Chains A and B, each alone.
Chain A
């Protein structure tokens, strides 16, 4: 009897300890690395290079957050996730941040209990077909076999688009982008559909990219952004303002080239606040004063990350389009650092 009371007490104590979860920010600092969920490999967004070092646009966000929190952009443990495993990985605490071109939707934000910290790429769903099929519009795809990544919003958009246009299709569900690429190139599906940026990135890795065309239809809004677990506001703030720092830096003309010079102090108080030479913004986030400087040193500002990974000078060759600064007719906009 006494033994069971003792065991019961131990159980309750164990539960109490388990339930009182520490903040993610403290966890990351204590661990010394950031666990960041990325794709299993999508060139330009997140893929390991020839030396096995992860590189890409989404990876840049991970490295910026790691640099802001830990002062070291390389202190990131990358966890490759598929469309189906990413949310479980985040909800279970296996990863601290998910930067995996994930679409911000109502149900993911509200029902799945995640917190999107912003948008780092405004995208839309497109279709890619081999040029020799002679298809010029998605309306011509009646009866086509379509490769689609399962567990994505594109899967739902695809069903909606074909149903609302009253055309039939045969879905071929696949797990990863690499698998889709292989199936598509083998001709097991006529069409590959995913976010237009993903299509461009995938096509860039083909032997003959010119043999494949992206159809003009963009059938959905896909605001892609990094996300964290719901309910840990301190950590969400860190991720959100790191992303905002990258965007604000581009707006203010702070680049990795001139950052050392600017962080000595400037006449622009917003640059000073951003780089920590004025005000207490870093301390308010629970970070060092030079957090944003570290984040910017990791891979440059938003524009630099874009150009280096997916911009027009890269094989992927995406134009800024909607992802230009708001001052240049795009949608990329950050609240002020004040």
Chain B
């Protein structure tokens, strides 16, 4: 009975998997998938086999063991008795610090140089070209080491600053440039609200952010008034007051004092010590990445048609205002996407810190900890995960900004 009622349908043959275009793509995908899975399986299996051949296990327990080594630059409390995990966090914070400082300085440098390279002044534009080509075409590692060597070999030792020595502090005895780094005055809070210094500084930061939000609201209100009446109220003194007074009050009540570095024993004490390694890495990363950003900015500006600046000139805008109000806002659309990858480059290049002994995550977790505990696989995986997350966060944030600067098309 069934043979009678079944509709006639083509038999599926195995050869259709290859010769029938309906199935071929699926076949190829399945085979590729199997190959990829086999590859992963082989890698994992190989790792497990080799680990057991070496008699090693896979265990993150070492992170809670005492580290036993000291770190010179630490943004949080850390002693040699702290755990390897905490040493890794100290390193992570140092990486974040250098990435943050580097991105800011590189952007400022890049924008200024990119604009100046288009200057009609021949000397200025040529000088900027020399900077860009010089830094872009010499490996970053050489710049890091060159700046570090310049600092170490070229500056005076702290003991030369003694009375009768041949070196002296600059800027009214407040800044000491030595071959161990630069000592600048620091701010200390005599009677903070919280026991932990970090919390006090976070409070100040919160007040500062609140002030900036208020300033934004104020200038938006000024915009509204200007749009409705045509006259913009003068707000600069209100803005300045909003910026300075709340933070100033908080600092005053917490007993903020400027602490000047002074020579004591072998080294300068008090103040803030910007180590050679930090300065060399920061400057080299910023100068190097800044050269690339300058080219990106130049390309962004050149992408805006000449008609825009001519129209702005016809409206009577001065060249500086043309640049700030007409050209750069439009150029941002072209600039931001490649800028993101420059920020990512800078962040990852900061792992070259090892060359000058800057204690970033590569030097603590990926260097000393791995060496003392023999946990290469775990350490490298953790480090890779950290750089991956950091890069994804940076590109995520920058993408949000990118979406906001895009043309709003309707």
Contact = CB atoms under 8 A, between A and B. Distances in A.
A323 to B, nearest CB: 27
B68 A151 contact: no
A109 to B, nearest CB: 11
Interface residues on B, range: 35 or more
Contacts of B152: 182-183, 186, 188
A157 B17 CA distance: 68
B29 to A, nearest CB: 14
Interface string A123-155: 000000000010000000111110000110001
A170 B268 CA distance: 11
B255 interface: no
B56 interface: yes
B194 interface: no
Interface stretch (B34-42, B214-222, B384-392): B34-42
A29 interface: no
Interface residues on A, range: 35 or more
Nearest to B39: A11
A18 B265 contact: no
A190 B266 contact: yes
Nearest to A151: B371
Interface stretch (A80-88, A288-296, A325-333): A80-88
Contacts of A186: 152-153, 179
A113 B54 contact: yes
Contacts of B371: 83-84, 87, 150-151
Contacts of A107: 372, 374
Contacts of A190: 266
Given A83-B371, A113-B55, A170 B265 contact: no
Nearest to B53: A19
Interface string B160-203: 00000000000000000001100000000000000000000000
Interface stretch (A171-179, A241-249, A257-265): A171-179
A187 B157 contact: yes
Nearest to A88: B376
B233 interface: no
A215 interface: no
Given A143-B264, A160-B68, A187-B179, A15 B46 contact: yes
A19 B42 CA distance: 13
Contacts of B269: 143
A151 B157 contact: no
Interface string A157-198: 011101100000111111100000011001111100000000
A253 interface: no
A91 B54 contact: yes
A151 B370 CA distance: 9
Interface string B5-28: 000000000000000000000000
Contacts of A212: none
9 contacts: A4-B34, A84-B371, A143-B265, A143-B269, A151-B367, A159-B69, A171-B70, A172-B72, A187-B157
Given A87-B371, A160-B68, A188-B152, 11 more contacts: A11-B41, A15-B42, A19-B50, A21-B53, A83-B371, A91-B54, A112-B374, A113-B55, A133-B159, A151-B371, A172-B72
Interface of A: 3-4, 7-8, 11, 14-15, 18-19, 21, 83-84, 87-88, 91, 107, 111-113, 133, 141-145, 150-151, 155-156, 158-160, 162-163, 169-175, 182-183, 186-190, 229-231
